[in-house]
């Protein structure tokens, strides 16, 4: 399995416990799912102790090489109360500086706050009306850095917030609510429209269209003929799933392991990038290096990141990096892109590779946050070292 950032199966993390988070990557995941309880603060402001724990948690995630799927909720069990709108606004105002200061390790923020488990149902404060949902969604979007996505539970919720029309290319990746709202389907592949996720086929078409531009994740919730049949991969590919809960539902995941589906998804959830061709040509302008990058995953990368061609001389390990203006968010499933750079003819033997580091300054030199290219049958061999995928020698 190719362990890569910002994709795959998530592992549950107790974010505020001060416990080490190293076990997540050791268990084969680069994403931690954190459902943070605000039950103790339903009737009061967030205090310095809570916010300090949150900052330390972000630091521990960074040290452990993780990104987080983050959700806040007041009701951690069915029937428990949530909080009134004014309290949610006040808490988001307090959380905003900490989310901005640590957004390098935030993958997505799930809208949360409303109802049981923050799933936007069963609110005890009447927060499932369209007006209340828009108010909470806009407050969450304002608190979360604009370059990060927020996920909502269903297409109907997104439509109540940002309108009935699905995203199109011209509006994608912008700052509007429609462009920033993705989905977390927390009852994947079950009857009755994934247990209320979809009201009808129109909802499914809406999510499938939006999934070209926004992240989709979630979890299975119980065994069902739909998640034990042959259409699992087809369904998850239709909605371009980037991540799934790797711990729930246990029986569904155990069945997927028995049938080999889990292993396939561990590799193909989100993006799976490989180089399928590389060529060097001596020209009057210098050495032209050409590559073909292919995505064999279920979804495009959620965020863009730098792409560099790196040429290193073997004699003295001197390396020169050349930026490539390729937006990885536009490299969808099954698609490939050819690109080239021209460099000065190297003196002596050299090695050529591709680097896809994290764009955040704090993470740019960390191997755990760089993309590893997959080594697929028929592709070039790849050696990953110091965050660089070394591909060919010249």
CATH of the domain at 209: 3.20.20.80
- Arithmetic mean of pLDDT, 68-88: 97
Q: Based on the domain organization, do 91 and 185 belong to the same domain?
A: yes
**Local confidence band at 2 (pLDDT 50, 70, 90 cut-offs):** confident
**Model-level pTM?**
0.96
pLDDT of 126-150, one tens digit each? 999 999 999 999 999 999 999 999 9
**Local confidence band at 316 (pLDDT 50, 70, 90 cut-offs):** confident
Q: Convert 192-257 into a string of H (helix), E (strand) and C (coil).
A: HHHHHCCCCHHHHHHHHHHCCCCCEEECCCCCCHHHHCCCHHHHHHHCCECEEECCCCHHHHHHHH
Flag whether 347 is in a domain. Answer: yes
Count up the domains in the chain and report the number.
2
Distances (CA, A) of 66 to 13, 96, 175, 213, 386: 11, 20, 25, 23, 18
Q: Based on the domain organization, do 121 and 258 belong to the same domain?
A: yes
Q: Based on the domain organization, do 145 and 191 belong to the same domain?
A: yes
The answer on pLDDT for 1 being more than 80 is: no
Q: Based on the domain organization, do 93 and 75 belong to the same domain?
A: yes
CATH number at residue 346: 2.60.40
Q: Based on the domain organization, do 120 and 240 belong to the same domain?
A: yes
The answer on pLDDT for 377 being more than 60 is: no
Query: How much of the chain exceeds pLDDT 90, in percent?
Result: 86
The C-alpha atoms of residue 374 and residue 381 are separated, in whole angstroms, by 9
- Which of 214, 246, 268 is the endpoint of a domain? 268
Distances (CA, A) of 121 to 39, 65, 221, 234: 17, 33, 16, 29
Q: Based on the domain organization, do 202 and 218 belong to the same domain?
A: yes
- How many of the other CB atoms lie within 10 Å of CB of 342? 15
Q: Based on the domain organization, do 184 and 308 belong to the same domain?
A: no
Q: Based on the domain organization, do 279 and 250 belong to the same domain?
A: no
Tokens at 47, concatenated: 């205090």
Flag whether 39 is in a domain. Answer: yes
Q: Based on the domain organization, do 248 and 376 belong to the same domain?
A: no
Q: Based on the domain organization, do 64 and 108 belong to the same domain?
A: yes
Q: Based on the domain organization, do 260 and 278 belong to the same domain?
A: no
**Local confidence band at 164 (pLDDT 50, 70, 90 cut-offs):** very high
- How many of the other CB atoms lie within 10 Å of CB of 375? 15
Question: Which residues lie below 8 Å from residue 25, measured CB to CB, with a gap of 6+?
Answer: 3, 64, 65, 66, 368
Flag whether 170 is in a domain. Answer: yes
Question: Which residues lie below 8 Å from residue 339, measured CB to CB, with a gap of 6+?
Answer: 290, 291, 293, 307, 324, 326
Q: Based on the domain organization, do 285 and 261 belong to the same domain?
A: no
Greater pLDDT, 279 or 314? 279
Flag whether 3 is in a domain. Answer: no
The range of the structural domain enclosing residue 281 comes to 273-393
């Amino acid at each position: 399995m190719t362990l890569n950032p910002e994709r795959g199966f998530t592992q549950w993390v107790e974010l505020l416990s001060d416990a080490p988070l190293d076990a997540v990557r050791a268990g084969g995941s680069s994403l931690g799912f954190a459902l943070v309880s605000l039950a103790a603060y339903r009737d009061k402001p967030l205090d310095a102790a809570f916010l300090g724990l949150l900052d330390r948690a972000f630091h521990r995630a960074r040290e452990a090489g993780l990104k987080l799927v983050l959700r806040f909720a007041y009701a951690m069990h069915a029937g428990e109360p949530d909080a009134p709108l004014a309290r949610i606004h006040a808490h988001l105002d307090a959380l905003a500086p900490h989310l901005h200061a640590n957004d390098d390790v935030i993958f997505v923020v799930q809208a949360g706050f409303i109802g049981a488990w923050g799933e936007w149902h069963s609110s005890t404060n009447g927060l499932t009306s369209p007006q209340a949902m828009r108010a909470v969604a806009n407050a969450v979007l304002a608190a979360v850095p604009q370059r990060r996505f927020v996920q909502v539970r269903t297409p109907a919720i997104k439509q109540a917030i940002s309108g009935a029309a699905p995203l199109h290319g011209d509006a994608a990746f912008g700052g509007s609510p429609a462009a920033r709202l993705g989905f977390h389907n927390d009852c994947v592949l079950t009857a009755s429209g994934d247990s209320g996720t979809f009201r009808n086929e129109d909802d499914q078409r809406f999510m499938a269209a939006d999934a070209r531009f926004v992240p989709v994740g979630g979890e299975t919730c119980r065994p069902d003929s739909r998640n034990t049949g042959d259409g699992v991969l087809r369904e998850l590919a239709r909605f371009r799933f980037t991540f799934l809960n790797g711990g729930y539902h246990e029986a569904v995941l155990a069945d997927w392991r028995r049938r080999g589906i889990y292993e396939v998804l561990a590799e193909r959830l989100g993006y799976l990038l490989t180089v399928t061709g590389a060529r060097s040509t001596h020209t009057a302008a210098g050495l032209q290096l050409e590559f073909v990058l292919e995505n064999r995953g279920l979804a495009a990368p959620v965020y863009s990141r730098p792409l560099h061609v790196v040429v290193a001389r073997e004699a003295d390990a001197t390396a020169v990096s050349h930026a490539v203006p390729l937006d990885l968010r536009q490299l969808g499933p099954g698609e490939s892109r050819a690109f080239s750079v021209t460099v000065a003819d190297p003196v002596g033997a050299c090695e050529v590779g591709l680097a896809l580091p994290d764009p955040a300054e704090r993470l740019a030199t960390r191997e755990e946050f760089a993309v590893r290219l997959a080594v697929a049958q028929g592709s070039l061999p790849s050696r990953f070292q110091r965050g660089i995928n070394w591909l060919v020698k010249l």
